[in-house]
Amino acid sequence: MNAVKPKGRVTRTDVARLANVSEASVSYVLNGTPNKVSEKTAARIRRAAEILDYRPSAFARALKIGSSQTFGVIVPDFSNPYFASLSDEIESAASEHDYSIIFATSHSDAATERICIEKLKNRNVDVIFTSSALSNEELASLDQQHCRLVFLDHPTATPDVKCVSTDFAKSIGMMTSHLFSHGHTNIALLYGGNNYTDPRIQGWHQAHQQAGLPVGPVVRSHFTREGGYRATLEMLDSSNRPTALFAASDLEALGALRALHERHVRIPEDMALVSFDGSIDTLYSYPQLTTMQQDTHNIARYAVQAALHPDSSPDVTLVEPTLTARQSCGCVSI
């Protein structure tokens, strides 16, 4: 059986022509339909497909089975080690179910996120996972007629959507109480968002109220290294200089570290510093950062389960983090 491979994509018509059979016979064999074609003819069809290096159309297969077996994932920032880790875990969990991933980034911009959602819908993905920059009202209004959504890092119930997240309010409260246990009563929170109904802010207020202490300042720091750096310089120059900083992300904490080192502030002797996320970077800072470590492995697996089995998954799944105590709060000697 000799053939010249046609230009462009090889189709079932090309396979049928080379094997000298009908396209229906090719479909029976390549779809594994039993007892429709003799074994001799089936062997000839498989040989023709091998010679032509035939690859089934993913789009055609999606139409046949009603699924593209593809997920879309939208994150705010791939340079953030937390989102890099979470994306890797989602891809790993999806591959266990033979699903592929198409990644996109919103750059923490709501309009860009909406564009990403539409582009992924046009790629016929089955489900879109998004760590969203949209408000709760905007999230609730998203059209899911042709593609379901799973919200990541969103611990608030949203109609007709599955949400998987760390319990932010509880986590912030745990770390704030940890700083209280070190004797700190004047703590500032470096926070990247502008939504002061965020569960992180709720946890911050609740921890202070339960301890009977005035609520420490919340300083806008944009969830970036630069933001953490600038916000820390602001804190160091304030008339009410805190004795501890709680960065709402590892990126902000790394920026804060630079500012503290530049000002020759000893950590933790002069000022304690803790962070939220628990990415690998916290192990390689100096000093090593005490952090509330998010469980990206389980977040990803619960999210994929919610995508595959929405009827048996809770509307909101909260994943417990781990408080990892290291040098920057004073738990471990430098």
Same domain flag for 133 and 104: yes
Burial 145-166 (b: 16+ CB within 10 A, else e): eebbbbbbbbbeebeebbbbbb
Residues 274 and 310 in one domain: no
CB 275 within 8 A of CB 247: yes
Q: Which residues contact 225 (CB under 8 A, 6 or more apart)?
A: 251, 252, 254, 255, 258
The CATH number of whichever domain residue 28 belongs to comes to 1.10.260.40
3-state secondary structure of 220: strand
Q: Which helix (H) or strand (E) holds 138?
A: helix 136-140
Whether 334 maps to a domain, the answer reads no
Range with the lowest mean pLDDT among 35-44, 176-185, 211-220, 261-270?
35-44
Q: pLDDT band at 195, cuts 50/70/90?
A: confident
Task: Report the distance separating Cα 33 and Cα 30, nearest Å.
Answer: 8
Segment 216-225 mean pLDDT = 93
- Answer whether residue 59 shows pLDDT above 70: no
Regarding whether 211 and 173 lie in a shared domain, the answer is yes
> Is residue 330, in this structure, part of any structural domain at all?
no
Is 272:184 a contact under the CB 8 Å cutoff? yes
Same domain? For 301 and 283 the reply is no
Handedness of CA 135, 77, 106, 235 (dihedral sign): positive
Q: Are residues 42 and 85 in the same domain?
A: no
Share of the chain above pLDDT 90, in %: 65
Quick one: CA torsion of 288, 289, 292, 295, rounded to 10 degrees?
-40
Give the predicted TM-score (pTM) of the model. Answer: 0.81
Alpha-carbon distances of 148 from 95, 143, 162, 192, rounded to whole Å: 19, 9, 9, 28
Contact 255, 229 (CB under 8 A): yes
Q: Examine residue 331 and state whether it is found in any structural domain, yes or no.
A: no
Check pLDDT > 80 for residue 6.
no
- Which tokens in the block code for residue 7? 């230009």
Query: Domain for residue 329, yes or no?
Result: no
Dist CA 277 CA 322 (whole Å): 10
Domain that holds residue 34: 12-56
CATH number at residue 315: 3.40.50.2300
Residues 313 and 256 in one domain: no
Indicate whether 192 pLDDT > 60: yes
- Which range, 129-133, 195-199, 209-213, is most confident? 209-213
Q: Is residue 1 part of a domain?
A: no
pLDDT on residue 74: 96
The pLDDT of residue 36 is: 78
Pairing of β 322-324 and β 290-293? antiparallel
Question: How far is Cα 70 from Cα 219, in angstroms, rounded to an integer?
Answer: 40
Q: DSSP class of residue 238?
A: S
pLDDT tens figures, 61-119: 554 544 578 999 999 998 899 999 999 999 999 999 989 999 999 998 889 999 999 99
| Contact in structure between 260 and 253 (CB atoms under 8 Å) | no
Above 90 in pLDDT, residue 142? Answer: no
User: Is 211 inside a domain boundary?
Assistant: yes
Mean pLDDT of 142-157: 86
Pair 51, 90 in one domain: no
Assess whether 174 and 261 both reside in one domain. Answer: yes
Mean pLDDT of the chain: 90
Looking at the structure, tell me whether residues 216 and 287 fall in a common domain.
yes
pLDDT (0 to 100) of residue 64: 53
| Dihedral pair phi/psi, residue 31, rounded to 5° | -95, -5
Q: Does 231 score more than 60 pLDDT?
A: yes
Asked whether residue 50 is assigned to any structural domain, the reply reads: yes
* Tally of structural domains, the chain: 3
Residues 220 and 287 in one domain: yes
Q: Which of 212, 190, 213, 186 is nearest to 200 (CA)?
A: 190
The pLDDT of residue 63 is 45
pLDDT at 16: 86
